[in-house]
Amino acid sequence: RMPSCLLRLIRVVLSHKPWALFTLIFVFVSFAYIKLYLGIWEDPESRVPTYGSSAEISCAHSVPSPLNITRGPSPSAGNVFFVETSEQTTPSYLFSCSVESAARTHPASRVMVLMRGLAKKNTSLPKHWAFSLLSCFPNVEIQPLDLTELFSGTPLKRWFMWPLRHWEPYFLPVLSDACRIVLMWKFGGIYLDTDFIVLRNLQNLTNALGIQDYDVLNGAFLSFKPKHKFMKLCIQDFVQEYNGWVWGHQGPELLTRVFKKWCPIRTIRSMRCRGVRALAQEVVYPIPWQEWKKLFEAVNASEFHKLLKNTYAVHIWNKLSHGAKLEIPSQALLAQLYSQFCPATYAKMKHD
């Protein structure tokens, strides 16, 4: 739906008033500038250095045999999904670590990496060290993201096909929000953003999502059975309450709205409600987004264990933290997470 303010502006311009035409031109130029500025910030991983991009990785060195993943995934285990909605095909260290850590902690699951930038008919992956490394894991599959096919059969197909959709200021984040709820609705399993480091198996966290901070849920981690009614309500809310001009309206705010109606409650807390769990903050968001700098502070072994003793995965808040300098090796919390939970990626970081 076109905002009412734009409709009013167009009506004024059509009345042939010169000052209104000037205003419209000014608004258009301003919008284009904002779009360009936000586009820079919406995909921070694309600016992370990817040294040795074409380097081949030795699987025997990167993926030791004791991992117990030689047999590959089991059809009975749910999938773990990662989605890259931008066109970039040069995964960062954090992207690689996210997928590697999920593959190591979910040896019986297929870890599906869906990337919009991959050619649909080309079976070979781009030459990049991250693809080479991740291909060493027999349970990792990297495939093109076909958005038309993904949204088919859902109310989001019509939303996605609207011609002016790509002009919205937060299109990529909103597109990511759409993909995750449709994946959970159609296929079920686990969805993770590409800035998570997974510490342990997530399969027992079924029909669950995490509390980001007080009274706010976040969709960076989702785990649901296929065709779950909660996800159906999320898809309906996405379309009925759509507003692509407000940051988070289709993401954390949507999940929070739906959960409060689902229960119904006024304030969200760690709880199980009608079969859906709101997980305590420490489970998948142990570092609040307001305190993301703690990821780059040194911690000793005792502090490390105490902080993460009840944690299944750590969200790195890459939108905020991508520009911070990380010393490798070091005792920084993030460096220790890399070292312990994605050692192959960590070895590449040290080499570079």
pLDDT for residue 123: 74
Query: How far is the C-alpha of 95 from the C-alpha of 151, rounded, in Å?
Result: 24
Instruction: Name the 3-class secondary structure at 313.
Output: strand
Q: Each residue of 287-309: pLDDT tens digit?
A: 999 999 999 999 999 999 999 99
In this structure, of 27-31, 144-148, 252-256, 295-299, the range with the lowest mean pLDDT score is: 27-31
Average pLDDT over residues 255-272: 96
Reported confidence tier of residue 97, pLDDT bands at 50, 70, 90: very high
For residue 110, what are its two tokens? 């297929």
Name which residue leads in pLDDT, 351 or 75. Answer: 351
Name which residue leads in pLDDT, 318 or 43. Answer: 318
The DSSP secondary-structure symbol of 332 reads B
pTM of the model: 0.84
Reported confidence tier of residue 124, pLDDT bands at 50, 70, 90: confident
* Contact criterion met (CB below 8 Å) for 288 and 213: yes
Q: Each residue of 17-63: pLDDT tens digit?
A: 555 444 445 444 444 444 443 443 344 444 444 444 556 777 866 67
Query: How far is the C-alpha of 228 from the C-alpha of 230, rounded, in Å?
Result: 5
**CB-neighbour burial class of residue 280 (10 A; exposed 0-12, middle 13-18, buried 19+):** middle
pLDDT for residue 11: 57
pLDDT for residue 234: 98
Instruction: Name the 3-class secondary structure at 164.
Output: coil
Query: How far is the C-alpha of 184 from the C-alpha of 175, rounded, in Å?
Result: 15
The DSSP secondary-structure symbol of 126 reads P
Query: How far is the C-alpha of 324 from the C-alpha of 330, rounded, in Å?
Result: 14
Percent of the chain with pLDDT over 90: 75
Answer yes or no: CATH 3.90.550.20 is held by domain 76-280.
Answer: yes
pLDDT at 179 > cutoff 70: yes
* Contact criterion met (CB below 8 Å) for 89 and 115: yes
Per-chain mean pLDDT for the chain: 86
In this structure, of 14-28, 64-78, 79-93, the range with the lowest mean pLDDT score is: 14-28
pLDDT for residue 175: 97
Delimit the domains of the chain by residue range. 76-280
pLDDT for residue 24: 44
In this structure, of 39-43, 103-107, 202-206, 313-317, the range with the lowest mean pLDDT score is: 39-43
* Contact criterion met (CB below 8 Å) for 313 and 220: no
pLDDT for residue 100: 98
